[in-house]
């Protein structure tokens, strides 16, 4: 059976070493976490300004090599309480839940595009659909911000699936996800009712409502994510974002998961 959504279960690869046993309290002092991009202007109100940022990132959708996946498997992610677990525990060993695992990498925790994506995903793959998939499949979300913002993110997105954080972004890099300033030329279906100005304004509104230093811990605004499907401890399908609104469409995920062919 897939993992219960309410349970805690649920660029170029970096070859720099990581102390995976490093506690979060020490890890959060790292300059890699403190170097978030949190300066921008909220005065934009037309699509025209965004035209200069509309060339998709040239990044392939080939699965990582065995060596790249092996390195990624050793990296740790964190839950909302700051507890760490190795990435490999999601898709191999006794902690892996389901016959398949769909792992979604989202952008910073204030990104309205990714929030819209998770809302659309939750509306399309309801709990009834989730628990009755022909092949039991866990769905897991990983963002690049501080674990302390996970509760805020779950509230905003109403996402029932487990959410974790990779604040150093080492896992994003290891799996080949890049960074860009490109918002994309096409408004995806999951954002059909959200314009770029409204999307940007909402991000700053959420930051303004967040108290204390956490408002600057949403994650690097240039980082983009992707989607990876694991089966038998291997990546059988993946998609990497080419721009800020470049998640695989929900219809694509339903097709990959064979939801409409059961």
213 belongs to a structural domain: yes
Low-confidence residues of the chain: pLDDT under 50:
6-52
pLDDT at 51: 46
90 belongs to a structural domain: yes
Alpha helices in 95-224 (DSSP H): 112-124, 127-131, 150-157, 170-174, 196-209
247 belongs to a structural domain: yes
CA distances from residue 50 to 46, 47, 78, 147, 244 in whole angstroms, order as listed: 8, 5, 34, 30, 12
Q: Over the stretch 139-161, which tens digit does the pLDDT of each residue have?
A: 999 999 999 999 999 999 999 99
106 belongs to a structural domain: yes
The tally of domains found in the chain comes to: 1
243 belongs to a structural domain: yes
212 belongs to a structural domain: yes
pLDDT at 199: 62
156 belongs to a structural domain: yes
- Predicted structure pTM score: 0.77
Give the span between the Cα atoms of 164 and 95, in whole angstroms.
15
134 belongs to a structural domain: yes
pLDDT at 260: 87
Q: In residues, how long is the chain?
A: 262
CATH number at residue 102: 3.40.30.10
Quote the domain boundaries for residue 206. Answer: 64-261
Sign of dihedral through CA atoms 177, 183, 189, 194?
Answer: positive
């Amino acid at each position: 059976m897939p993992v219960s959504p309410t349970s805690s279960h649920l660029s170029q690869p970096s070859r720099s070493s990581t102390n995976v046993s490093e506690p979060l309290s020490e890890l959060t002092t790292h300059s890699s976490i403190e170097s978030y991009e949190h300066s921008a202007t909220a005065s934009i109100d037309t699509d025209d300004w965004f035209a200069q940022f509309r060339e998709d990132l040239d990044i392939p959708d080939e699965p990582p090599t065995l060596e790249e996946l092996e390195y990624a498997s050793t990296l740790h992610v964190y839950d909302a309480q700051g507890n760490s677990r190795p990435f490999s525990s999601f898709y191999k060993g006794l902690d892996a839940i389901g016959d398949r695992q769909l792992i979604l990498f989202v952008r910073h925790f204030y990104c309205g595009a990714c929030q819209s994506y998770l809302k659309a995903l939750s509306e399309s793959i309801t709990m009834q659909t989730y628990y009755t998939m022909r092949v039991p499949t866990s769905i897991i979300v990983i963002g690049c911000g501080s674990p302390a913002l996970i509760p805020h993110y779950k509230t905003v997105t109403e996402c029932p699936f487990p959410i974790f954080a990779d604040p150093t972004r080492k896992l994003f890099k290891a799996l080949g996800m890049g960074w860009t300033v490109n918002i994309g030329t096409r408004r995806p279906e999951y954002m059909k009712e959200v314009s770029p100005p409204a999307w940007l304004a909402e991000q700053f509104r959420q930051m303004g409502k967040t108290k204390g230093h956490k408002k600057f811990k949403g994650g690097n605004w240039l980082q983009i994510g992707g989607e990876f499907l694991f089966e038998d401890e291997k990546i059988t399908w993946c998609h990497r974002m080419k721009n800020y609104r470049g998640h695989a469409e929900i219809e694509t995920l339903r097709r990959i998961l064979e939801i409409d062919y059961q």
